Amino acid sequence: MAHKKKRSGLDCMIFSEKTVSQIAAADLGEIIPVVGQISDLGPHRIAISRAAHVCWICGYMVEVDVEVPFLEITKPQKCPELNGCGSQKTLKLQEDRSTFIDIRSFNICGKNDYYPNYDFKIYTTDMASIIEINSDVEMQVKILRKSVNSKDKHFELYGFTEKVNISLISRNKEEEELVSSLSKGGRNSNQIVRNALRDICHQRGIATLTDVLNRCEPKGISEFQVEEVISKMLQAGELFSPINGEYSFAR
Ligand SMILES: [Zn+2]
């Protein structure tokens, strides 16, 4: 990514010099670079990305691409006259001939935002990246809208991205506390292990498994949980292990 500007303190800006809360109507339809911190995670869902409608009179199939987040499926009113029979309201959705896609959502917030609790919802088809509450992320986001009140024609902006990049930004303890008190999910065991690793590495450059266990066990985290988090971070390339049982952050 072209973005090289170092972020300091609680700064959390979008590359285009906008904060998360400044994403507005003018951005609709644009693809803009966004950085932020995960404040809430949605569940893994599957949705129809391409809907197949079949005419129950002539059997003609009409395929319709569904807009992200793949919730509202537009059903054609009429069977096409050219290839079908031209009948009104005879098309029925056929799930077994439609295309399904994996999707999940998350909210990001701008940490140094004018509205610090402002959340921006992003949908993604990236199921591989390990994202969790408090992860710092950066991505190219397409700004879209959905109707929140069809009567008054009010819309809500949301984003879509195919790839979420996790950025490792070291934060000091005060920031961690602030961020954690702001986020809805709070800290989980995962975050405790991460914080322990970050603190130890910050002090000594390298963390041994024993060091991490000594910090996490009094907080009720089992050896198994610690090893699981470390193993995920190694797989994601966030941590590396120069010597067996010793860990250091990849950057
Ligand atoms: Zn027909």
Å from CA of 84 to ligand 1 middle: 5
Angle of the 209-216 helix axis to the 189-204 helix axis, nearest 10: 130
Q: Does residue 209 sit in the same domain as residue 144?
A: no
Looking at the fold, whether 122 and 193 belong to one and the same domain comes out as no
CB 198 within 8 A of CB 239: no
* pLDDT score recorded for residue 182: 45
Ligand 1 is a single-atom ion; what residues have CB below 5 A from it? 55, 57-58, 60, 79, 84-85, 87
Mean per-residue pLDDT of the chain: 82
Domain with residue 60: its CATH number is 2.40.50.140
What type of residue sits at position 136? D
pLDDT, average across residues 80-85 = 93
The verdict on 35 and 92 lying in the same domain is yes
**For strand 99-109 and strand 31-41, is the pairing parallel, antiparallel, or unpaired?**
antiparallel
Determine, yes or no, domain membership for 124: yes
**Same domain as 6, residue 86:** yes
Same domain membership, residue 47 and residue 144: yes
Note whether 7 and 111 are same-domain residues.
yes
Q: How many independent structural domains does the chain possess?
A: 2
**Do 109 and 158 lie in a common domain?**
yes
Angle of helix 189-204 relative to helix 223-235, nearest 10 degrees?
A: 70
CA atoms within 13 A on the CB side of 42: 18
pLDDT at 130: 87
Q: Are residues 111 and 151 both part of a single domain?
A: yes
Query: If you measure from the C-alpha of residue 97 to the centroid of ligand 1, how many angstroms do you get, rounded to a whole number?
Result: 17
- Specify if 181 maps to a domain: no
Domain span at 230: 188-249
Evaluate whether residue 219 is within a structural domain.
Answer: yes
| Same domain, residue pair 197 and 240 | yes
- Say if residue 36's pLDDT is above 50: yes
Q: How far is CA 179 from CA 22, 39, 41, 42, 110, in A?
A: 20, 9, 15, 19, 10
Q: Quick check: 90 pLDDT over 70?
A: yes
Q: Are residues 158 and 47 in the same domain?
A: yes
10-36 average pLDDT score: 73
Average pLDDT over residues 158-176: 71
Residue 175 lies in a domain: no
Strand pairing of 31-41 and 136-149?
A: antiparallel
Between 155 and 18, whose confidence is greater? Answer: 155
59 CA distance to ligand 1 middle (Å): 6
